[in-house]
Amino acid sequence: MIRITNEESRESDAGSFARVPTQAEVARLAGVSQTTASYVLSGVPNRVSFATQERVLRAAEQLNYQPNLLARGLRGSSTGLLGVIVRDISAAAVGAVSRALLHGAPQVGYDMILTDAADDVKTLLRLAGLMKSRLCDGIALVGELPEEDALWDDYARLGIPTVAILHGGQNLPVASVLLDNDHGIRLAVDHLRSLGHERIGYVGSNLLRGVMQRGEVFRAVMKDKGLNVRPTDVVNVELSREGGAAGLVQLLGRPHPPTAVLAATDLLACAMIHEAACRKIAIPEQLSIVGFDDVPEASLTWPPLTTVRQPFEEFAVRALAMFTSGAASSTRAHRQVILQPELVIRESTAAPRGANEHLGAMSPRDSNRRLHSQLS
Amino acid sequence: MIRITNEESRESDAGSFARVPTQAEVARLAGVSQTTASYVLSGVPNRVSFATQERVLRAAEQLNYQPNLLARGLRGSSTGLLGVIVRDISAAAVGAVSRALLHGAPQVGYDMILTDAADDVKTLLRLAGLMKSRLCDGIALVGELPEEDALWDDYARLGIPTVAILHGGQNLPVASVLLDNDHGIRLAVDHLRSLGHERIGYVGSNLLRGVMQRGEVFRAVMKDKGLNVRPTDVVNVELSREGGAAGLVQLLGRPHPPTAVLAATDLLACAMIHEAACRKIAIPEQLSIVGFDDVPEASLTWPPLTTVRQPFEEFAVRALAMFTSGAASSTRAHRQVILQPELVIRESTAAPRGANEHLGAMSPRDSNRRLHSQLS
DNA sequence: ATCCGCACGTCACCAAGGTCGCGAACCAAA
DNA sequence: TTTGGTTCGCGACCTTGGTGACGTGCGGAT
C-alpha cells in the first residue's frame, strides 16, 4: 500500500514529498479570504477587483498552486475529465481511435484518461462504475466485448453521457459513432470485380458483433451483384494471427479456391500475407487480398495491403463533438453518426491470372494445382 | 459543456440520468447513521455488529451504491488509482508496456488510468499536475520526451511516487526500470559476428536519449571486439518509417556497404525490410538486418525480424512492484531496476554472401555492385 | 450495589474548493 | 445629510465520505 501520511513526511527530512499548497494558503499569502481566491482562480467575472486578482494570481504562481481536482469535482458538477474504456488496447484499430481521442480531447477543453477492460466483463463494469462516480464527465466505449449484450442495461443506467465507438450493435441505448460496413464491403467487392475476380473468398469471425456484421454484409453484397458465394468460400476464424493463417490455408486448401480474399480485419489480412509469404504463394499474382481497417501496419507488409480505410481520426472527432454538443448526454434520443469508409488501393490486389492476358500465362487450372501443392 | 444539474434531471421525465445514491441515503434506508454506513462499507473491523452490517450491505446493494471516488480520495490519503503518462501511445514499445501496466495493475490492487502527453512538454506538465493533485497514488512515466531534461526538477517535486520506464536517462531523480542496452547491443553484434559479418552498419537516432545511448554502446561494443566502424557505417535518422527507409538507402548507397545492419528500433528495422523489398534487395541473402525491441509487428514482416527483445511485461511487473514495495515512494534512494534483453533469432539474418562457402557464389564485390545498381 | 471494560452507534469535524447572500465602503444624486 | 446603487470582499454553508472522541447500555467481576 502506498500511503503518505503527514507523520511520515514530517519525520523524514530528506526523501519526503513536499505538500501541495491549497487554495487557502494562496489566499493567506495574498492577504485575502479563501473565497476571494476561489473567485479569482476559477475566473468568476465581476467579483474581484483587478488589483486583488493580480495579487492572488501572483501568490498562486509563487506557491506553484494547482487546484485539487478531487475537491473541485466533489463540490462542482464536473471534473473536466473524459474517460475512455477500451476493450483491448492491443487491437490496432482500438489503439488508433484511442490515440485520436487522447490527442483530440484537449482541443475541446477536456483531459482524457483511458482504462482497459481487457476481455473481462466484470472489470469493465468496475471501471465504468469508477468513472461514473463523478470522476469523469463522460465515457467513450471503444471496441466491444464478447458477450457484453447483457451489459447494455447497465450502460444505459450509467448516469453519465456515453458514446460507443467501433461497435457493431445497431440499437444501442447510448450515442454511437459507427462505420458504414455495408459501403466498405461494397467498395472492396467492387474493386475486386473491376479487376476481374469472380470467385471471392471471405475470412471473418463470429466472435465480435461488429466483425460478424461484415460477413453478413459480404454475402448480401455478393448476392446483390449476382456473384455466387459457395459455403466453402467463407470461413470464420479467431481474430488473431493464427486465425488469419488458418483461414488462408482452409480457403485455398479446397478445390477451386477463390482468386481473391476479403479479410474482415487488417490483422487477419496481414497474417494471411505473411502466411502466403511463408508458403511462397505470390501476392497478388496468385491471390489478391483485401483488408479492412487500414491500420498503420497495413502499409508495412509486403506487398502493401489494399484495404478499406476506417476514418479513425474522425471517429474520435465526432465522438468528442457528441460530448460537447450534448448529443451524448441524453438517454432519450440515441443519436448515431455513421461514417463512410474509403478504399485504399495498394499492391496486394491485381487482376487474376489469365483474366485479361491470354498469352503464355499459366491457366487458372494450373495455378490452382500449384496452390494445392504449396499448401500440402 | 456537459452539465447535469438537478433541475435538468428533474424536469425531464425520460431521457434523464438517475442520480447516484450517496452513502447517507444507504444509511437512511438501513436505518442507521451515515457514520455506521461508512464503517461497514469501508470494512473497518470490530465496529459494527454483524446484524447491522447485513442491513447496511443489503441497503447498499438495493440502491446499487457505488462509493464516490472523489470524496473518498479527498478525505482519505489514497484513491486506489495509479496513473500512466505516456509519451506517445502510437510507439509500439510504449503501447506494449502500457498495456502490460493496464492489465497488471488490478493484480496489485489498483486501477490504472492512462493519459498521453503526445509530444508536448506543456501537456505533460499539466497531466502530471492533474495526477499529482491527489487523483492518483502514483505515476508511471512511459517513454521519453525530446527536450524534457529541464523537467526533471519538476518531476522530482511531483510529490508522488513515480517510476520511469523506457527511459534512457541514467541519473533520474525518480525510481526507474531500465533495459541493459549494453547487453542488448552486445547480443546483436555477437550474433552477427558469429554468422561471419565483419562490416556492420547502424541506423539510429539522436532525438531520444534512450535510443541515442544504443548508438554509443554500438560503437563501444564494436571497438571492444576489435571491429572497425567507419563513420559512414553509422547513420542517424528520424524515428519513423521514412527515417528507416532513408537510413537503408544512405548506408547502402556508399562504397563498400556493410553486410549487416543493426537498427536502434524495430520500427526502423521493419521500415528497412519494407524498403529492401521495394528495391528487390534480398533479406537476408544480400543484407542481414537486426532490430531492437521485439514489438509484435517484428514477427509479421517478411522475412520475420531477428531482434533484441525487451521484456515489456516484466517492465510493467517490476514497476508495479516498486509501487507496492514503496521503492517508488522515496525521493531519497532512487532505486533502479535493470532488466536483461534477449536475442530472438528469426529470419532476417544469415551469413554474408561468400563468407563460409567458396563455391560458385557471387563474390562480395559483385554483390556490392549489384546493390549499387538497385539503389540508383 | 458499584465499578470496569467492552461492544456498538453516533456526533461533530475534516478534507478542498465552489457559491449564496450579506454587508462594508464608496460615489452620485436628492 | 440621506438615500440608492454599485463594487468588492467575506462568512457560512454545501458536496461526499472517513475518523477521533464520546455516550450509552450491557455483562461480568468485585
pLDDT of residue B90: 85
Please state which architecture CATH assigns to domain A18-67: Orthogonal Bundle (1.10)
pLDDT of residue A247: 97
Domain boundaries, chain A: 18-67, 81-180+313-341, 181-309+343-375
Q: Which residues of A touch B68 (CB under 8 A)?
A: 74, 133-134
Helix locations, chain A, DSSP H: 6-11, 23-30, 34-41, 50-63, 69-75, 92-104, 121-130, 152-156, 181-195, 209-224, 241-252, 266-278, 312-325, 364-375
**Average pLDDT, stretch B24-43?**
94
Query: Please, are residues A273 and A283 in contact by the beta-carbon 8 Å criterion?
Result: yes
DSSP letters spanning B61-121: HHHT----HHHHHHHSS--SEEEEEES-TTSHHHHHHHHHHHHHGGGGT-EEEEEE-TT-H
Per-residue confidence at B359, pLDDT binned at 50, 70, 90?
A: very low
- What is the spatial distance between Cα A195 and Cα A197, in angstroms, rounded to a whole number? 6
Residue in A with minimal Cα distance to B90: A99
pLDDT of residue A152: 74
Residues B52-90 as b/e (b if ≥16 CB within 10 A, e otherwise) read bbebbbebbeebebbbbbbbbbbeeebbbbbbbbbbbbb
Q: What is the CATH number of domain B6-67?
A: 1.10.260.40
Protein residue nearest nucleotide D12, by CA to C1': A35
Per-residue confidence at B364, pLDDT binned at 50, 70, 90?
A: very low
Checking each nucleotide's C1' against the CA of B46, the nearest proves to be C7
pLDDT of residue A329: 80
- What is the spatial distance between Cα A18 and Cα A6, in angstroms, rounded to a whole number? 10
SS3 breakdown of chain B: % helix, strand, coil, rounded to 5?
45, 15, 40
In chain B, pLDDT over 90 holds for what percent of residues?
67
Q: Is residue B20's pLDDT more than 70? A: yes
Look at A159-163, A320-324, B6-10, B141-145 and tell me which has the smallest mean pLDDT. Answer: B6-10
pLDDT of residue A335: 85
Contact state of A115 with B112 under an 8 Å Cβ cutoff: yes
pLDDT of residue B18: 67
Q: What are A183's three cell numbers? A: 459501403
Q: Hey, is the C-beta of B44 within 8 angstroms of any chain A C-beta? A: no
Q: Hey, is the C-beta of A4 within 8 angstroms of any chain B C-beta? A: yes
Residue in B with minimal Cα distance to A329: B2
Chain A closest CA to B228's CA: distance in Å? Answer: 33
Chain B closest CA to A155's CA: distance in Å? Answer: 11
Q: Is residue B205's pLDDT more than 50? A: yes
Give the model confidence (pLDDT) of B172-201 as tens digits: 788 999 999 999 999 999 999 999 999 999
Q: Hey, is the C-beta of A302 within 8 angstroms of any chain B C-beta? A: yes
Report phi then psi at A70, rounded to 5.
-65, -45
From the Cβ of A75, is strand D under 7 Å away?
A: yes
Report phi then psi at B165, rounded to 5.
-130, 150
Residue with cell 526538477: B153
Give the model confidence (pLDDT) of B88-117 as tens digits: 888 899 999 999 999 999 999 999 999 999
Mean pLDDT (chain B, rounded): 86
- What is the spatial distance between Cα B151 and Cα B144, in angstroms, rounded to a whole number? 11
Q: Is residue B363's pLDDT more than 60? A: no
Partner residue opposite B17 with nearest CB, options A69, A98, A160:
A160
pLDDT of residue A125: 83
Measured CA angle at A145 (ends B165, A325), to 5 deg: 85
Q: Is residue B168's pLDDT more than 50? A: yes
Contacts of A336 (CB under 8 A, 6+ apart): A172, A175, A176, A177, A178
Is CATH 3.40.50.2300 the right assignment for the domain spanning A181-309+343-375?
Answer: yes
Q: Is residue B352's pLDDT more than 80? A: yes
Contact state of B69 with A106 under an 8 Å Cβ cutoff: no
pLDDT of residue B87: 84
Query: Please, are residues A328 and A138 in contact by the beta-carbon 8 Å criterion?
Result: yes
Give the model confidence (pLDDT) of B225-248 as tens digits: 999 899 999 999 999 999 999 999
Same fold, B6-67 and B81-179+313-341: no
Is CATH 3.40.50.2300 the right assignment for the domain spanning B181-310+343-375?
Answer: yes
Contact state of B114 with A114 under an 8 Å Cβ cutoff: yes
Q: What are B81's three cell numbers? A: 488509482
Residue in B with minimal Cα distance to A97: B90
pLDDT of residue B294: 97
- What is the spatial distance between Cα B176 and Cα B170, in angstroms, rounded to a whole number? 9
Q: How far is the CA of B54 from the C1' of C10 (A)?
A: 19
pLDDT of residue A145: 75
Partner residue opposite A18 with nearest CB, options B67, B89, B159:
B159
Query: Please, are residues A96 and A151 in contact by the beta-carbon 8 Å criterion?
Result: no
pLDDT of residue B8: 33
From the Cβ of B31, is strand D under 7 Å away?
A: no
Q: Hey, is the C-beta of B111 within 8 angstroms of any chain A C-beta? A: yes
Q: Hey, is the C-beta of A99 within 8 angstroms of any chain B C-beta? A: yes
**What residues pair up with A261 in beta bridges, in sequence order?**
A201, A289
From the Cβ of A23, is strand D under 7 Å away?
A: no
Contact state of A1 with B157 under an 8 Å Cβ cutoff: no
Chain A closest CA to B150's CA: distance in Å? Answer: 17
- What is the spatial distance between Cα B315 and Cα B321, in angstroms, rounded to a whole number? 10
Q: Is residue B19's pLDDT more than 90? A: no
- Class of domain B81-179+313-341 as given by CATH: alpha beta
pLDDT (tens place) for every residue of chain A, 376 residues total: 333 333 333 333 334 566 789 999 999 999 999 999 999 999 998 889 999 999 999 999 999 899 999 999 999 888 999 999 998 888 899 999 999 999 999 999 999 999 999 878 888 888 888 888 889 999 999 998 776 776 777 666 667 898 999 988 777 788 999 999 999 999 999 999 999 999 999 999 998 888 999 999 999 999 999 998 999 999 999 999 999 999 999 999 999 999 999 999 999 999 999 999 999 999 999 999 999 999 999 999 999 999 999 999 999 999 999 999 888 887 666 689 999 999 999 999 999 986 554 333 444 444 444 555 555 5
Q: How far is the CA of B44 from the C1' of D19 (A)?
A: 11
Chain A closest CA to B201's CA: distance in Å? Answer: 22
Residue in A with minimal Cα distance to B279: A302
Radius of gyration of chain A (CA): 28
Q: What is the CATH number of domain A81-180+313-341?
A: 3.40.50.2300
Of B42, B73, B72, nearest in space to B135 by CA:
B73
What is this structure's pTM?
0.87
Q: Which candidate in A114, A122, A322 is best for mutational testing of the B interface (most B CBs within 10 A)?
A: A114
Chain A closest CA to B222's CA: distance in Å? Answer: 31
Q: Which residues of B touch A98 (CB under 8 A)?
A: 89
pLDDT of residue B298: 95
Q: Which residue has the higher pLDDT, A310 or B126?
A: A310
How far is the CA of A75 from the CAs of A134, A220, B70, B113, B325, in angstroms? 11, 54, 10, 23, 34
How many Cβ pairs closer than 8 A exist between chain A and B?
190
Contact state of A2 with B323 under an 8 Å Cβ cutoff: yes
Partner residue opposite A133 with nearest CB, options B12, B68, B118:
B68
